[in-house]
Amino acid sequence: MDLVTGGAGFIGSHLVDALVEQGKEVRVMDNFSSGREEFLAHHEGSGSVEVYRGDLLDQEAVITAMEGIEAVHHLAANPDIRLGTEVTDTDLRQGTVATYNVLEAMRVSEVGRISFASSSAVYGEAGVMPTPEDYGPVMPISLYGASKLASEALITAWAGTFGAQGYIHRFANIVGPRGTHGVIFDFIHKLKRDPARLEVLGDGNQEKSYMSAHDCVKSMLHVIDLGEEGPVLNNLGTGDTCSVSRIAEIVIEESGLEGVSIDYTGGRRGWAGDVPKTYLDVTKLLGTGFEPTAMSEQAVRDTARVLISEIGL
């Protein structure tokens, strides 16, 4: 059986779907802080998915959740990068300490495999674009990015010291159905409040890669299935980018609203710690034979369409 921490969340629930599709039995550990029961409701009664409601900061609970587990997919974390500008210990606790608790429970329970949802945020403002996995030194500029880098280091330390097999995935921005945060989600909520005006944080020139949640979880499992030894590090993304101003245009187009004015708050970044441009080099991923089904703009458009129908305008 596989354990998915954060399995009731946006990406986690898509991963649960993909694992079940592979014929796996899955246990989800989630505290439902941002996860939702309805994201897993379609598995109810299937016998394939067990939900364990618990908090990763409770070490005993994490050890209990490890019973009978062969591999862990660790996705639970605070997903809101902006929160670090106001609350300074959230990423430390929900990121770094939570990852420590998972690794320690794995050691105690003799679980040998961990796959981890890291982020392009570890690169900070990288001097090389697109940024390959061996770019360094990596210097995150957000507390979130720092917690991801610390978690990666704990995983390689556990691998080196206790022999665990680690898969570290540095995600681009992930978008898709069940999204509960992020730029597309924010724009739709803003348009719902005021259909005449869309406020965009920053100057709109921020540029990032957007990968669909479907492609994200498929690529995670593809990398794991290659069965490479040693800590395995991969950028997961599409190999192109889309600007925030283009996203604003796409969301407005998909909303069907007419005459919406786009107001930029100005400045290179949306908020302190926002990296204006992230562009992952995915040569390594593509070299393994994985191909994303949607490039950034398409992933953004598909997501805008589905979130508008999920949220309603």
Instruction: Tell me how many residues contact ligand NAD (CB under 6 A).
Output: 28
Among residues 3, 16, 75, 250, the one that binds ligand NAD under rule CB under 6 A? 75
Site string for ligand NAD, 132-171 (x = CB under 6 A): ---------------------------------------x
Q: Is 187 in the site for ligand NAD (CB under 6 A)?
A: no
Token pair of 39, please? 């994201």
Interacting span for ligand NAD (CB under 6 A) from 174-182, 198-206, 268-276, 284-292: 174-182
H runs (alpha helix) in the chain: 10-21, 59-65, 90-91, 98-109, 143-162, 183-193, 213-225, 244-255, 283-287, 296-311
Q: Is 87 in the site for ligand NAD (CB under 6 A)?
A: no
Amino acid (1-letter code) at residue 65: A
Using CB under 6 A, which residues numbered 116 to 135 contact ligand NAD? 117, 119
- How far apart, in Å, are the Cα atoms of 191 and each of 98, 250, 251? 35, 13, 9
Rounded Cα distance between 238 and 303, Å, is: 15
Interacting span for ligand NAD (CB under 6 A) from 54-62, 123-131, 223-231, 263-271: 54-62
H or E element in which residue 167 lies: strand 165-171
Q: Is 8 in the site for ligand NAD (CB under 6 A)?
A: yes
Among residues 3, 17, 19, 35, the one that binds ligand NAD under rule CB under 6 A? 35
Among residues 57, 87, 128, 153, the one that binds ligand NAD under rule CB under 6 A? 57
Q: Is 9 in the site for ligand NAD (CB under 6 A)?
A: yes
Rounded Cα distance between 153 and 148, Å, is: 9
Among residues 56, 191, 232, 282, the one that binds ligand NAD under rule CB under 6 A? 56
Q: Are 282 and 237 in contact (CB under 8 A)?
A: yes
Secondary structure (DSSP) of 63-90: HHHTTT-SEEEE--S---GGGGGT-SSH
The residue written with tokens 């989630």 in the block is 30
260 vs 292 by CB, closer to ligand NAD: 292
Footprint on this chain of ligand NAD (rule: CB under 6 A) = 6, 8-12, 30-35, 55-57, 75-77, 79, 94, 98, 117, 119, 171, 173-174, 180, 182
